[in-house]
Amino acid sequence: MVVALGVAITGYTLGENAVELISYFDHYDDKTNSEADEKTDSSADDAAGTAATQDVLISQLITAFAGYFVLTAISLGGFIFTSSFIGFEDGFECDLQEGKISQATYAGMFPILAAQTDRASCMETIQ
């Protein structure tokens, strides 16, 4: 359950980040000509696209891809943990031995079960 919860959280987070990653350039479409300028000279604007390049490409995309890498590694680690340590073999062995256990071994149980017709009789006969 812990592994499944970790993978579910990772998948949800990756899905939520994908929307922001895809729509990053949409935030800068209408701001192309409103770039930053020098403090001392307001007419010296940066070249068009400077904000998108420095904000989106340098800081945001690196952060987004680093997040994808980390979350993918967490999810992959959960799958590796599951396949390494959680198996379907429970070690059950049938201990019935021919000649030692038969229907007669459980013969005393059948009258007790037949006497249980409701909850009260069940509570009386059960040990």
CA distance 50 to 33: 10
Domain residue extents for the chain = 2-29+49-85
pLDDT bracket for residue 29 (50, 70, 90): low
Query: What share of the chain has pLDDT > 70, as a percent?
Result: 77
Query: What is the per-residue pLDDT across 76-124, written as a single tens digit (0 to 9) for each?
Result: 888 888 888 877 777 777 776 777 777 888 888 888 888 888 999 888 8
Rounded CA-CA distance 10/60 in Å is 19
Beta bridge partners of 37: 45
User: For 59, which DSSP code?
Assistant: I
In tens, the pLDDT along 8-17 reads: 888 888 788 7
Rounded distance between C-alpha atoms, residue 66 and residue 16, angstroms: 15
The pLDDT of residue 52: 67
If you average pLDDT over each of 20-24, 26-30, 54-58, 68-72, which comes out highest?
68-72
Report the C-alpha gap between 51 and 32 in whole angstroms: 9
pLDDT of residue 20: 74
**pLDDT tens digit sequence for 37-52:** 666 776 777 776 676 6
> With a threshold of 0.85, does the pTM exceed it?
no
Residues 55 and 48: their CA atoms lie apart, in Å, by 13
Report d(CA 81, CA 35) in Å as an integer: 49
